[in-house]
Amino acid sequence: MALLQISEPGQSTAPHEHRLAAGIDLGTTNSLIASVRSGIAETLPDDSGRHLLPSVVRYGKDKNPVVGHAALAVQTTEPLNTISSVKRLMGRGKEDVLTLHDTMPYRFVDTEGGMPSIQTDSGVYSPVEISAEILRTLRNRAEESLGGDLTGVVITVPAYFDEAQRQATKDAASLAGLKVLRLLNEPTAAAVAYGLDQKPEGVFAIYDLGGGTFDISILHLKKGVFEVLATAGDSALGGDDFDHAIADWLIEQSGIDASGNHSILRQALLVARKAKEQLSNETTVTVELSDGKNQHWQGALDRDTLTSLIDPIVVRTLPACRRCLRDAGLKVDHIDGVVLVGGSTRSPQVRDKVTGFFGKPALLHIDPERVVAIGAALQADILVGNKPEEDMLLLDVTPLSLGIEVMGGMVEKIIPRNSPIPIAKAQEFTTYQDGQTAMVIHVLQGEREMVQDCRSLARFNLRGIPPMVAGAARIRVTYQVDADGLLSVSAREETRNVESFIEVKPSYGLTDAEVEAMLRSSFEHAEDDMQERKLREKQVEAESLLQAVAVALKADGERFLNDEERSAIDKCMNKLAQSKTGRDAVLIDQNAKALNRATYEFASRRMDNNVQQALKGHSVNEFEETSGK
């Protein structure tokens, strides 16, 4: 198992060389930055003493972006220029984004990169650029508070973020002028913040429900080693969905026509969010909605109604919890504790569901909105070398399997899902056709057996393969996933050491529906997939056999076969060719064996002839003398 040493050897620092580092929780609704000062990790406030930075950016005609509370204040009056919940757009394609919720009040435009960009009065901006503004604001806050430039930061991401979403996060940090020491999974950061690494041993569930994402991770903690046994979740499920459900109810109750009116939609979302937060401590709140003209509505929202609105969304988190336990090979009774993370876990309904599912109360003594940033700060402090005596190991996992396309449209899994990272695995492949000098490496992500059922991540070519007979070349393909969960792939032809390499940077990520479908389908269609794979394998073997026999017949058929023998072989070839297009794997196998039997004597004659040709002009004594040296 690959272990990740967090404290860097030889990087100890004297007190006067203390390096400034920070942990950043780049959230859907709010973001925070934290740092270790005087041995204590704490979140850093702005000039007004506010720790939470709303993840909202306004782009006006003055070309100067406004971030945070000032942007939040104008989002109802400038809904098309004020971007919130941008984390949900990271690493996604435009069509994926439009399926997240039909009330997203933005003007999306197509770009060459595939990631959706948003048209504002000051120009077009991608989710990466918008996130960079939030990160830049946090960086400025930290450097003012700490009195110097940051050496590096740890940025947390949902455990279920895929390749594209992680890469988009790193790109945003680079734009913001930050050096990323590591991307750390949010559940792991929460465990660090709770000091669970100091406990002798235990298995903990980290239930993380934020504004836009949900993660559940099972961690095994033993003497400072964090091993993620399994992870599951939904990268498009969170408190935003609560807000949309409440907003839809408010609009329905008010009778106000909100279709196409972005200001009313934004107003309803703001009222919904405020009411949701108030109902965490109160039983009933007053809510109001206005169209800004002649319609004004006032009503009441109680906790029971709120529960009925958000309960279907909370329930959607439970199947992922079950799947995570199953993947870890555990039962609920094996869990020693539950940690709640994310502002949405303040909801009594969420806490009741989690307690009911795991059968034990959750740990709550750290603010669930700050816990991730605090854990990231502790890790950042170690990574820059301020605590070289620490011996903490993080063993995260990759959430989905990574594989390669092989002949017949099949997927060969190289790194299975829930493999500890960082990890590197290699596998050898070969050519399919005689004289083949190039190979397409098709990188895939998913749990199914066939290419069309998995997600394509990247393609690249390996050229310069020496022309040889099919199956003679040795192509070594290596998949490497780093500590941030980012994938790189290399392919090398072993005889000539020709190599090609790619860092996988897909233009957009998986939708929540795709992730769920991948895992669900892998269970539902496991038997069908295995049968389909067996069929394809037989079809590929049959095609290879037919090609080999055809080449041999063309070269030596007239020399070593009489008419009767040739007719028998042709008959077997026709049967195999016909069955190869069908779906009976047993029949294909039978016909392949029949062709092998029919060509046995032909193959023997060709081999004897080749041996005779090789020995021609040499005496047996030559070989005896050579072997005796």
The residue ranges of every structural domain in the chain are 15-237+316-397, 239-312, 402-524, 527-615
Q: What pLDDT, on a 0 to 100 scale, did the predictor assign at position 96?
A: 64
Q: What percent of the chain has pLDDT over 70?
A: 82
Residue 309 has pLDDT above 60, yes or no: yes
Q: What pLDDT, on a 0 to 100 scale, did the predictor assign at position 514?
A: 43
Hey, what CATH topology would domain 239-312 get?
Answer: Actin; Chain A, domain 4 (3.90.640)
Which tokens sit at 472?
């003679």
| pTM (two decimals) | 0.60
Say if residues 402 and 461 touch (Cβ distance below 8 Å).
no
Which tokens sit at 546?
């037919």
Q: Minimal CA–CA distance to 233: which of 308, 157, 333, 169?
A: 157
Q: Is residue 171 classed exposed, middle or buried when 0-12, 13-18 and 19+ CB atoms within 10 A define those classes?
A: buried
Residue of 25, 381, 484, 529 marked catalytic: 25
Q: Name, in order, each residue with C-beta under 8 angstroms of 200's C-beta and a sequence gap of 6 or more.
A: 222, 223
More confidently predicted of 364 and 287: 287
Rounded average pLDDT over 498-513 = 54
Angle subtended by helix axes 303-315 and 348-358, to nearest 10:
50
Q: Minimal CA–CA distance to 31: which of 272, 243, 343?
A: 343
More confidently predicted of 513 and 185: 185
Q: What pLDDT, on a 0 to 100 scale, did the predictor assign at position 506?
A: 45
Which of 177-181, 226-230, 470-474 tops mean pLDDT? 177-181
| Whether 186 is catalytic | yes
| Whether 25 is catalytic | yes
Q: What pLDDT, on a 0 to 100 scale, did the predictor assign at position 318?
A: 93
User: Which of 182-191, 357-366, 502-511, 602-611 is predicted least confidently?
Assistant: 502-511
Q: What pLDDT, on a 0 to 100 scale, did the predictor assign at position 396?
A: 62
pLDDT band at 615 (very low <50, low <70, confident <90, very high): low
Say if residues 146 and 35 touch (Cβ distance below 8 Å).
yes
> For residues 551 and 603, what is the distance between their CA atoms, to the nearest angstrom?
12
Q: What pLDDT, on a 0 to 100 scale, did the predictor assign at position 198?
A: 58
User: Which of 236-245, 437-446, 586-595 is predicted least confidently?
Assistant: 437-446
Q: What is the pLDDT of residues 379-436, one digit of tens each?
A: 898 888 776 544 455 556 676 778 888 877 778 888 887 677 778 888 888 877 778 8
Q: In the block, which residue shows the tokens 């059922």?
A: 453
| Whether 367 is catalytic | no
Residue of 129, 162, 197, 208 marked catalytic: 208
Residue of 171, 186, 449, 453 marked catalytic: 186
Q: What pLDDT, on a 0 to 100 scale, did the predictor assign at position 522?
A: 54
Q: What pLDDT, on a 0 to 100 scale, did the predictor assign at position 477?
A: 84
Q: What pLDDT, on a 0 to 100 scale, did the predictor assign at position 415?
A: 83
Q: Minimal CA–CA distance to 343: which of 320, 366, 305, 369?
A: 369
pLDDT band at 15 (very low <50, low <70, confident <90, very high): very low
- φ/ψ region of 616 (left if φ > 0, alpha if ψ in -120 to 50, else beta) reads beta
Superfamily of domain 15-237+316-397: ATPase, nucleotide binding domain (3.30.420.40)
* Strand ranges for 249-328 from DSSP E: 284-290, 296-302
Say if residues 286 and 298 touch (Cβ distance below 8 Å).
yes
Residue 516 has pLDDT above 90, yes or no: no
Say if residues 202 and 223 touch (Cβ distance below 8 Å).
no
Rounded average pLDDT over 215-239 = 79
pLDDT band at 616 (very low <50, low <70, confident <90, very high): low
Q: Exposure string (b/e) for 553-584, b if CB count within 10 Å is 16 or more?
A: beebbeebbeeebeebbeebbebbeebbeeee
Q: Dihedrals φ, ψ of 254, to 5°?
A: -75, -25
More confidently predicted of 15 and 144: 144
Which tokens sit at 55?
């993840």
**Consecutive H or E run containing 267:** helix 262-278
Q: What pLDDT, on a 0 to 100 scale, did the predictor assign at position 3?
A: 33
In the chain the first and final C-alpha atoms are separated, in Å, by: 47
Residue 1 has pLDDT above 60, yes or no: no
User: Which of 22-36, 334-348, 380-394, 500-514 is predicted least confidently?
Assistant: 500-514
Rounded average pLDDT over 277-282 = 86
3 state SS of 13: coil
Class of domain 527-615: mainly alpha
Q: In the block, which residue shows the tokens 């529960």?
A: 307
Q: What is the pLDDT of residues 47-88, one digit of tens each?
A: 999 999 999 999 988 778 899 999 988 887 888 889 988 888
Residue of 87, 276, 353, 413 marked catalytic: 87
> What is the separation of C-alpha 368 from the centre of its chain, rounded to a whole number of angstroms?
24
Residue 234 has pLDDT above 70, yes or no: yes
Check the CA dihedral 621-622-625-626 and report its sign: negative
pLDDT band at 23 (very low <50, low <70, confident <90, very high): very high
**Consecutive H or E run containing 610:** helix 600-615
Residue 4 has pLDDT above 50, yes or no: no
pLDDT band at 46 (very low <50, low <70, confident <90, very high): very high
Residue 483 has pLDDT above 80, yes or no: no
Q: In the block, which residue shows the tokens 């876990």?
A: 345
Neighbour count for residue 597 (Cβ, 10 Å): 11
Q: Minimal CA–CA distance to 188: which of 149, 147, 160, 146?
A: 160
The string of DSSP letters for 333-384 reads: GG--EEEEESGGGGSHHHHHHHHHHHTSPPB-SS-TTTHHHHHHHHHHHHHT
CA angle 183/184/189 to nearest 5° reads 155
Q: How many CA atoms lie within 13 A of 496 on its CB side?
A: 13
Q: What 8-state DSSP symbol labels residue 196? A: G
Q: What pLDDT, on a 0 to 100 scale, did the predictor assign at position 430?
A: 80
Q: What pLDDT, on a 0 to 100 scale, did the predictor assign at position 98?
A: 60
Residue 590 has pLDDT above 50, yes or no: yes
> For residues 100 and 514, what is the distance between their CA atoms, to the nearest angstrom?
12
Which tokens sit at 57?
């950016």
Which tokens sit at 12?
């100890």
More confidently predicted of 567 and 474: 567
Q: What pLDDT, on a 0 to 100 scale, did the predictor assign at position 625?
A: 52
Say if residues 268 and 301 touch (Cβ distance below 8 Å).
no
* Strand ranges for 271-316 from DSSP E: 284-290, 296-302
Rounded average pLDDT over 219-223 = 76
Mean pLDDT of the chain: 80
Residue 28 has pLDDT above 90, yes or no: no
Length in residues, the chain: 629
pLDDT band at 618 (very low <50, low <70, confident <90, very high): low
Q: Name, in order, each residue with C-beta under 8 angstroms of 65's C-beta and a sequence gap of 6 or more.
A: 57, 58, 59, 122, 133
CATH number for region 402-524: 2.60.34.10
| Whether 425 is catalytic | no
Rounded average pLDDT over 232-246 = 85
Q: What is the pLDDT of residues 112-139, one digit of tens each?
A: 656 678 888 888 888 888 999 999 999 9
